[in-house]
Structure 1
Amino acid sequence: MKITEIQIKHYLLPLDPPFKAAWDPEPREKFPATLVFVHTDEGFTGIGSGDLMTGFEGHEHLFIGRDPFDVERHAQVLNNIDFHYGRSWPLDIALWDLIGKITAQPVYKLLGGKQDKVLAYASTGELVSKEERARRAEHLAQRGFKAMKIRFHHQDVREDLAVVEEVRKAIGNKMEIMVDANQGWKMPGDTEPTWDLKMAAQVAKELEQLNVYWLEEPLPHDDLENMVRLRNMTSVRVAGGEMNRRFHEFRELSNAGALDVYQPDVALCGGITFGRKIADYVQANGGVYSPHTWTNGIGVAANLHTALGVGNTAYLEFPYDPPAWSVERRDFLQTSDTRLKLDQHGYLHGGNKPGLGFEIDEEVLKQYEIR
């Protein structure tokens, strides 16, 4: 079997009302998405998504005529492209989806099938009043979620802490609470000061009293020494790594003992092929692997299958903060029956469908394609 064609298509979903992401100074009025189609001479097609494939154009010939099962070879080529031009990891996701379809197996089983389900945590995205966040938290608990993540980004961190306190008061111990400080990296227009070690330590001390499960990205993503210091100063788990781009960055973080929870995203760093290597490495050093998934529904599915296949993951990120960030918006490229759903106990399942288990909504593609 040979790869005969690689297609890259772009889509844009209008957001009305806009999504006001806590980490972005500009409201999001559009949601871009890219699909990668890998076609073969035997009629099978794999599909990937999650990043915009920046830098891939002109490199299709490096894969045409090749065996799709040569994933290690293909991942090395993508890693070279990443170094020179930009991230193109959705192609690796498409290759794994393709291999799953060819073999009639779900990807997580091809990766090792370590588990077949994982608890989801609702990853919220907006800044709202403490009363509104508490109301939404109660709704999440009713939906079956056993954990949720709250974003910090108020001008005064005491307002952020008040939100966590209000949520804890509302839900008691029905859910674990994670906190995302979003200090690891910044959007282009964000020029606000980043926390230093003292600030991160003070916040962590307050979060200890509220029984917070982890504090995510309390420091810049490359500040390994202070992450190590922070871990030694608090009982709250320190999480990070979502925008780190290459394998060696996670190797260095892990060797330093900088994090408790490692959050690479296979759509942004290494694809599934390198993603499982990162998971194996950080877990061998005693870390927890719990990937970032905030791209689109296909990106969530790819990270779910990787986590199920090789991870010690206790909770998987499920981007969800209705009404502004709904499953319908996040997974708009997929047919409604193949969008990821929680069971009544709060689990996401790998299922038995071949590949990554989703199907594309052809009518939606026609409506929102950028030509």
Structure 2
Amino acid sequence: MMEKQIIKRPYDSAFTIKRIDAWACRAPITSGSVTTSFGIMRDRPAVFVRIEDDQGCFGWGEIFANWPAAGAEHRVNLLMDDIADLAIGQLWQAPEEMFWSLDAKTQVRAIQCGEQGPFAHAIAGLDIAAWDLVSRRAGLPLAKAINANAHQHVPIYASGIQIGTAQAEIEKARKAGFDAFKVKVGFGTDDANRLMELSKTIYATERLFADANQAWALAEAKAFLQSTHSVSLGWVEEPLRVDDTPQNWAELAALGVPLAGGENMAGKREFANALASGSYSFLQPDVAKWGGITGCHEVARDIVQAGRIYCPHFLGGGIGLVASAHLLAAVGGSGLLEVDFNPNILRTGFSQVPERINNGFWAIGSEPGIGITSLPDAVLTTASLVRFCFV
């Protein structure tokens, strides 16, 4: 059953999917590694999905595949073998109808195999592709298809910066047009001292954030926040596990340092509970991980209306990044777009990505949809699994 009524729009939002294509891609990491407090990425995976309707119109989406290590190929097979038959060949009145229908119809399947996350990831990618299709067909940028008054530019920050090499990486990010930076922490007791030293190199016009990736228990998180209080961090992201008690999150928030999280939340209820708790200053749903454009648009509006800040999480390939930028532009508020600063051809292989960044902002552009019409050769050469479904 659908969660809500379809919003009437000044363009045709109905579509029937005739074909679904999906690519599992893996790019080698050419320098260093992408390290978080819970694990190391040995390569950069991404799953890209293309849908085509019965009129030959098409749309592109991206499915979360960072974890587990074997996740990319699994997501492609899951999409084709367990979800495609529910989406293809039906007349959908709008992307929202397809999203909420697939969400409802796959819940028992997901529970049966304990894979609620992967099912949500695959449905999110299809939803992004559906929004790209209908906005492209209407001749509108995705942001304008969502909100006619969408912004033309959104602020950005450089993400994924390792604490051990942060000073050099931040200097590179400055030269690339960034003025806000997020550093990975959660590796040991020296993180606070390293961040304190790093803060001395940050200009008065710049912002610094920290991301612990759920590394700490309450005592460790409190110690870090207290030790770095003078740094004036823009936020500390996921200092506790997302499933830690609301009481612990509230106790940490009481220290006065802004807290962020949301990439590991799924469903409107979880985000509503996070908003109601009052512990989060910034909430960060990920369009490729849960919700696609449909779900994340709804929770993003709730975030802004509640007086909190919507900052889309994203650390994948170019399609999901561009879609995240469009959604942020449509929703508005004072949030920033997360741009992974680690080398990744699955992101920078899309020419739109480096071209959009200038002086701390991302330009949305005027191309229909998300502005991506095909996978570039640099991305296609990384594909380890390609599948399609046709009716």
Give the TM-score taking structure 2 as reference length.
Answer: 0.82
Aligned residues of 1:146 and 1:174 also touching (Cα < 8 A): yes
* Aligned position for 1:187: none
* Aligned position for 1:154: 187
Residue in structure 1 matching 2:303, options 282, 302, 314: 282
Aligned residues of 2:318 and 2:353 also touching (Cα < 8 A): yes
Relative to structure 1, the CA distance from residue 366 to residue 147 in structure 2 (aligned partners, 3 Å threshold; closer, same or farther) is closer
Residue in structure 1 matching 2:144, options 82, 105, 109: 109
CA deviation map 1:189-224 (0-9, x unaligned)? xxxxx5232322222223320111101101110222
Residue in structure 2 matching 1:75, options 79, 90, 99: 99
Looking at structure 2, the residues matched to 169 and 18 of structure 1 have their Cα atoms a distance apart, in angstroms, of 25
* Aligned position for 2:247: 225
Give the TM-score taking structure 1 as reference length.
Answer: 0.86
Aligned residues of 1:3 and 1:66 also touching (Cα < 8 A): yes
Which deviates more from structure 2 when the two are superposed, residues 352-361 or residues 213-222? 352-361
Q: How much does 1:58 deviate?
A: 3.2
Bigger relative contact order, structure 1 or 2, given CA contacts below 8 A and separation 6+? Answer: 2
Three-state SS of the structure 2 residue aligned to 1:5 is strand
Looking at structure 2, the residues matched to 311 and 11 of structure 1 have their Cα atoms a distance apart, in angstroms, of 32
CA deviation map 1:128-180 (0-9, x unaligned)? 2xxx4223223322333121001103222xx2122222222123323100011
* Aligned position for 2:194: 163
Q: Is residue 348 of structure 2 the alignment partner of residue 326 of structure 1?
A: no
Q: Report the RMSD for the aligned CA atoms in angstroms.
A: 2.1
Residue in structure 1 matching 2:84, options 24, 40, 60: 60
Q: How much does 1:283 deviate?
A: 2.0
Residue in structure 2 matching 1:198, options 211, 215, 219: 219
Please list, as runs of the form range in 1=range in 2, the aligned pairs for 1:163-312 lying within 5 A after superposition.
163-183=194-214, 194-223=215-244, 224-234=246-256, 236-312=257-333
Three-state SS of the structure 1 residue aligned to 2:82 is coil
Three-state SS of the structure 1 residue aligned to 2:36 is coil
CA deviation map 1:317-355 (0-9, x unaligned)? 1110xxxx22535343x3x3x224454421001110111
Which deviates more from structure 2 when the two are superposed, residues 284-293 or residues 338-347? 338-347
The one-letter amino acid paired with 2:176 is: R
5+ residue gaps, structure 2, are: 1-14, 65-71, 111-118, 386-391
Three-state SS of the structure 2 residue aligned to 1:171 is coil
Residue in structure 2 matching 1:139, options 169, 172, 192: 172
* Aligned position for 2:10: none
Looking at structure 1, the residues matched to 45 and 360 of structure 2 have their Cα atoms a distance apart, in angstroms, of 29
Residue in structure 1 matching 2:378, options 364, 368, 371: 364
Three-state SS of the structure 2 residue aligned to 1:239 is strand
CA deviation map 1:266-302 (0-9, x unaligned)? 1101110010111112222221110101121111111
Which deviates more from structure 2 when the two are superposed, residues 244-253 or residues 52-61? 52-61
Which deviates more from structure 2 when the two are superposed, residues 99-108 or residues 60-69? 60-69
Looking at structure 2, the residues matched to 104 and 169 of structure 1 have their Cα atoms a distance apart, in angstroms, of 47
Aligned residues of 1:262 and 1:282 also touching (Cα < 8 A): yes
Aligned residues of 1:10 and 1:34 also touching (Cα < 8 A): yes
Looking at structure 2, the residues matched to 122 and 152 of structure 1 have their Cα atoms a distance apart, in angstroms, of 15
Relative to structure 1, the CA distance from residue 64 to residue 139 in structure 2 (aligned partners, 3 Å threshold; closer, same or farther) is closer
Aligned residues of 2:34 and 2:160 also touching (Cα < 8 A): no
Relative to structure 1, the CA distance from residue 240 to residue 103 in structure 2 (aligned partners, 3 Å threshold; closer, same or farther) is same
Three-state SS of the structure 2 residue aligned to 1:105 is coil
Q: How much does 1:362 deviate?
A: 4.6
* Aligned position for 2:6: none
Relative to structure 1, the CA distance from residue 348 to residue 40 in structure 2 (aligned partners, 3 Å threshold; closer, same or farther) is same
The one-letter amino acid paired with 1:230 is: L
Aligned residues of 2:142 and 2:369 also touching (Cα < 8 A): yes
Q: How much does 1:127 deviate?
A: 4.2
Three-state SS of the structure 1 residue aligned to 2:155 is strand
Aligned residues of 1:288 and 1:312 also touching (Cα < 8 A): yes
Three-state SS of the structure 2 residue aligned to 1:233 is coil
Q: Aligned residues, how many?
A: 347
Three-state SS of the structure 2 residue aligned to 1:16 is coil
* Aligned position for 1:124: 160
Q: How much does 1:307 deviate?
A: 0.9
Residue in structure 1 matching 2:28, options 14, 20, 33: 14
